[in-house]
Structure 1
Amino acid sequence: MIKNILILVFSGVVLTSCNASKTQKNDSVSKLEGTWELNYITGPRIAFDGLYPNKKPTISFDLKENHVSGNSSCNNFTGKLIVTGNKIDFTQPMAMTKMMCVDGQQGEQTFISTLQKITSYDVTDDGKTLNFISGDIAMMRFAKK
């Protein structure tokens, strides 16, 4: 049986030894996994409920496949996920359906254009809130579904 033991030796003398164990990193990237629903977006002068009268946008992250997908309140989108630390990049072209959006067309345009400006993210310690940030300005906020 192999044990994980760390032994520090100096000039042939054992200074100390201890059991080694792996610890799980509490890493914000892993907190992205799953589906999130938009509950705040900056910029438009229209009230949030006016932008999204029937359906709020969602975004889902699959970290194993480096994949992002979601719904802009009308159309579905999917693409490659690029995350490094707390930096995130949505500038890669994403595939998107092209349904006609009678209600909420302005909301969809606002969501997609704001998403392309996002440079980083932050997930709260409790893992229930995701903030998308552009520079140092919080632009979008999502709740875990």
Structure 2
Amino acid sequence: MKKFFMFALMVPAFIGSLISCSNAKMTAQQLEGKWNIVEVKGEKVTAENTPFMEFDMKENKLHGNAGCNIFNTSVTVDEKDASALSIAQGMTTMMACPDMDTETKILQSFESVKGVKAGANANEAQLVDGEGNVVFLLKK
């Protein structure tokens, strides 16, 4: 009988912990550093050169590589919501590249970003739009 009660108590606790992990909070400040772009709007990135974003949250700067060209821009963090941020339209180099589709999709998706959410583990982050849809999946 004791085993049944222990089991009955453990199942809801286990399910609750799984649900709470999937909704883990992440602040824009936790984006500090370099992140590889592994998905853009649900599509896996297969560029020859791995695109990346490198956040400098002290200076509210973002630079990186969209697969071929380098970009530089700024980020704005909402003072009232630490997980809300936006990425400004930035500057890029203008080299011709074999895979301009991925590059274009990455650069055009910046304006959709409205926030950050935790990924599946500590080495993942999701940049999301205003409705919570994943725009970028990033990995350390």
User: So what's the TM-score if we normalise by structure 1?
Assistant: 0.68
Pairwise CA distance, 1:67 = 0.8
1:64 to 58, 62, 73: 58
Structure 1 residues 136, 100: CA separation in 2 closer, same or farther (over 3 Å shift)? same
Q: What's 1:15 paired with? A: none
CA contact (8 A) 2:26 2:117 kept: no
Provide the alpha-carbon RMSD of the alignment: 2.1
Deviations 1:68-120 (A, max 9, x none): 11111011111222112111111x2312111111x210010111112221111
CA contact (8 A) 1:32 1:123 kept: no
Distance 1:120 1:68 in 2: 15
CA contact (8 A) 2:34 2:52 kept: yes
Structure 1 residues 27, 39: CA separation in 2 closer, same or farther (over 3 Å shift)? closer
Identity %: 20
Q: What's 2:3 paired with? A: none
CA contact (8 A) 1:61 1:67 kept: yes
Pairwise CA distance, 1:140 = 1.5
Structure 1 residues 29, 117: CA separation in 2 closer, same or farther (over 3 Å shift)? closer
Distance 2:100 2:94 in 1: 12
Secondary structure of 1:140's aligned partner: strand
Structure with the largest fraction of strand: 1
Q: What's 1:130 paired with? A: 125
Pairwise CA distance, 1:27 = 6.4
Structure with the largest fraction of helix: 2
Distance 1:77 1:48 in 2: 17
Secondary structure of 1:89's aligned partner: strand
Q: What's 2:40 paired with? A: 41
Distance 1:36 1:43 in 2: 17
Q: What's 1:142 paired with? A: 138
CA contact (8 A) 1:28 1:122 kept: yes
> How many pairs are equivalent?
112
Counterpart AA for 1:130: A
Structure 1: which 5+ runs fail to align?
1-25
Instruction: Tell me which structure has the larger Cα radius of gyration.
Output: 1
